[in-house]
Structure 1
Amino acid sequence: MTTGTPPWTPPDGPGTGVQPAGLWWDAVKVPAVIAARALDLLGEEDRGPVVEDPYGAVWYWLVPPGAAADWTIHRVLARGSHLALPPRGRVRGPGPHWRVAPDGRGGFTDAERLHTALRAANACFKVCLGCQRLTDEPVELAVIHGAGAGRTHYACPACAPRFPRRRDPLVDPAAVRRAIGERRTWRAAIVHLTECADCRASDRGCAAGRRLLRAHRAALGGG
């Protein structure tokens, strides 16, 4: 006698039914605004079952088990997780419902195509520094440079007027020259102060050390 996993079917009852992830499908959890854009990008040909949860402002894409195991762009509900699915015929709110209803053949969205669509949709949105919501009309506030890749701050059109704009110093030639000068004078002062016996022995330091410190303060704009 042989046994196996029966074909997947959505809940048949009048209410939602909890099913385990990792058995028939894994579920990719996506913020609603990004999910709607991704659905448009996928088009009509590759739309497997999608659950919309308006209460949580998220959608769940059902994909074959393990197909999204190495994804990092969105959370994936796999074995060990459970998801409340709407009954077969519920395609409208107010609660969780099928944004894309199952086709009755047990098919799911192709994970590779979904990944491509989600990456493209992600690129259309930024997190607003003010309200912390996703916006597809980001206003650039400031470019922050650091030892790593740096980062850019954005705001939505409603929050942007609350924040002062900061000019990117790397697109301002004068600021670039100042930054280079600051680094050069800082290095010269540090090297001297660590090698000069007079500077190490006295808070006042030697004449050369004081001159290098004055040069560094001038480069910083402190005179």
Structure 2
Amino acid sequence: MMQSLVHAAGRPGEPAADVADLAELLRTLLGVTAREDTRVRLGGNLFDVVVTSSGGQARAAAALMDEVQGGCGPVVEDTRDGLFYWLVPPGTTGRWEPHTHAVCLGAPFKITLPSLNRTTPPSTPGPYWFRPSASDRLVPAAPLREALAQCRPEPTPHAAFADRLGMTP
């Protein structure tokens, strides 16, 4: 067993693969706290995202989640694309059933997280925290799914993602 651990750690002077991932994660999180927008890989141990439009129905879903959670977990609005990115627990993508008003994404996709102090819409289109990130709380997938089914945010994000990925809806 010890030999396999030594082998997994890599050659002397080279960081182990998981340490490189940890270093990337720390750089990313430091960027967000240092008032910089930062690109983050989805999946892994951080979070996946559920994507919806950011119109009135999505805001109503956020109000429902405020009630369910005692304050909704983190949601990023990108005013450039008119989308909400609901940060949900990692692994949600693997369990997410198709939804008529939302898409769930994990690895290998990335998202731009705004700096933690950007909690109002920016003067130029871009991301901001519609519901700021609070400690380690994420948006629970099952109640979010119910809120989205009830509020039905339009337009649905499916066609936009299909166009970006070169697929047909």
TM-score normalised per structure 2? 0.64
Q: Report matched runs for 1:59-98 at 5 Å.
A: 59-69=84-94, 70-73=96-99, 74-94=102-122, 95-98=126-129
Q: Report matched runs for 1:1-223 at 5 Å.
A: 9=29, 11-23=32-44, 24-33=46-55, 34-44=57-67, 45-69=70-94, 70-73=96-99, 74-94=102-122, 95-103=126-134, 105-122=135-152
Unaligned runs of 5+ in 1: 128-223
Alpha carbons of structure 1 residues 17 and 68: separation in structure 2 relative to 1, 3 Å = same
Unaligned runs of 5+ in 2: 10-17, 157-169
State the percentage of identical aligned residues.
Answer: 26
Structure in which a larger fraction of residues adopt helix: 2
Which has the larger Rg?
1
RMSD: 2.7
Alpha carbons of structure 1 residues 118 and 68: separation in structure 2 relative to 1, 3 Å = farther
Question: 1:120, 1:68 → 2: CA distance?
Answer: 21
AA aligned to 1:101 is P
Question: 1:84, 1:9 → 2: CA distance?
Answer: 12
Question: 1:59, 1:35 → 2: CA distance?
Answer: 8
Alpha carbons of structure 1 residues 31 and 14: separation in structure 2 relative to 1, 3 Å = same
1:61/1:109 contact within 8 Å kept: yes
Alpha carbons of structure 1 residues 126 and 51: separation in structure 2 relative to 1, 3 Å = closer
How many residue pairs get matched?
125
